[in-house]
């Protein structure tokens, strides 16, 4: 949905139940015209969608969010100031559910932390 439009995966490393992705935000994407004019910020819902899409890439199947146990938006992502971020996604399969921990970072800055549960679509 957002891959190739709002962001591009420049690098990816996967090992078992863990994926680490270097993502480049598209600062000219229309979402930034309204969020916010003159001070673009990646919307939280777009961060969540990006996590879901990268989890789907890691699992090679479609998933849907069942429960967001914890979402912490710690810093705003300005796509001009921080065009590249590292997104880490870890999962565990448990009782037919996919338990996920994810974070969006740039060097020492953490933008978002997430813990939640997905299920197969």
What are the structural domain ranges in the chain? 7-120
Containing H/E element for 33?
helix 31-34
pTM for the predicted model, two decimal places: 0.96
Q: pLDDT tens across 40-58, in order?
A: 999 999 999 999 999 999 9
Q: pLDDT tens across 58-98, in order?
A: 999 999 999 999 999 999 999 999 999 999 999 999 999 99
Burial of 40 (0-12, 13-18, 19+ CB in 10 A): buried
> Which CATH number is 7-120 given?
3.10.129.10
Identify whether the C-beta of residue 112 lies closer than 8 Å to the C-beta of residue 49: no
Identify whether the C-beta of residue 43 lies closer than 8 Å to the C-beta of residue 33: no
């Amino acid at each position: 949905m957002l891959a190739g439009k709002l962001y591009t995966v420049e690098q990816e490393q996967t090992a078992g139940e863990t994926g680490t992705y270097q993502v480049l935000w598209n600062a000219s994407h229309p979402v930034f015209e309204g969020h916010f004019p003159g001070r673009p910020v990646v919307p939280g819902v777009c961060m969540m969608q990006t996590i879901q899409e990268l989890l789907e890439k890691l699992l090679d199947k479609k998933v849907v969010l069942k429960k967001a146990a914890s979402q912490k938006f710690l810093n705003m992502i300005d796509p001009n100031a921080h065009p590249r971020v590292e997104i880490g996604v870890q999962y565990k399969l448990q009782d037919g559910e996919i338990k996920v921990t994810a974070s969006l970072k740039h060097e020492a800055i953490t933008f978002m932390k997430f813990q939640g549960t997905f299920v197969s679509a």
